[in-house]
Amino acid sequence: MKTCLLVVSDGRHEYHHRSLASALEYLPRFDQYVFVDDADHTLGFAGAIREGWRQVRTDFVFHLEADFTFRAAVPVEQMVGLLCRQPHLAQVALKRQPVNEEEITAGGIIEAHPDDFTEHRDRETVWTEHRRFFTTNPSVYPATLCSIGWPHVAFSEGFFTHELLRREPATRFAFLGAKHDPPRVHHIGDVRSGTGY
């Protein structure tokens, strides 16, 4: 199974350099590298993802918006293995810290809606499933999703989530690790500069 590292950057160079330095330290080697630089904002959020997906030529994608840093080595092979063993999962993401008021008040992404998340395990991996959202935060997903096409609308993550659930109601999304594990990535891009989110 081959995996592509897809990096999307929107021109915030201070974030970009920190994110790529962290990726070099904590990510493994990949079979393909795709870098989409939308510093001039002509593509917008949705267009940048669509352009990245157009270039993917592997079985899986590790998706990295260039405003995240990693806290430890990322077990990409383990994440791919989980997707292969659990084909109802459309994505395995890495949990970030709470960033909005609801998450901060609750103490985390999962803590904000704890009943919507269920911990699972097999002999190789622990993961936490949900149906709330597909995320463009650091994650692995099958490259077959690229053929669906990223929606060119506002709130596109939500639209893509609904499309996946409409196509296959059994679809689930996952965070790698136990329900109450600490975050594995840190979102450093608290100020957006792109367009079309």
Rounded-to-integer distance, Cα 18 and Cα 113, Å: 31
pLDDT in tens, 94-148: 999 999 999 999 999 999 999 999 999 999 999 999 999 999 999 999 999 999 9
What are the beta bridge partners of residue 37?
A: 9
CA angle 41, 47, 53 (to 5 degrees): 130
For residue 22, the SS3 value is helix
Express each pLDDT in 141-150 by its tens digit. 999 999 999 9
Domains of the chain: residue spans and CATH? 3-187 (3.90.550.10)
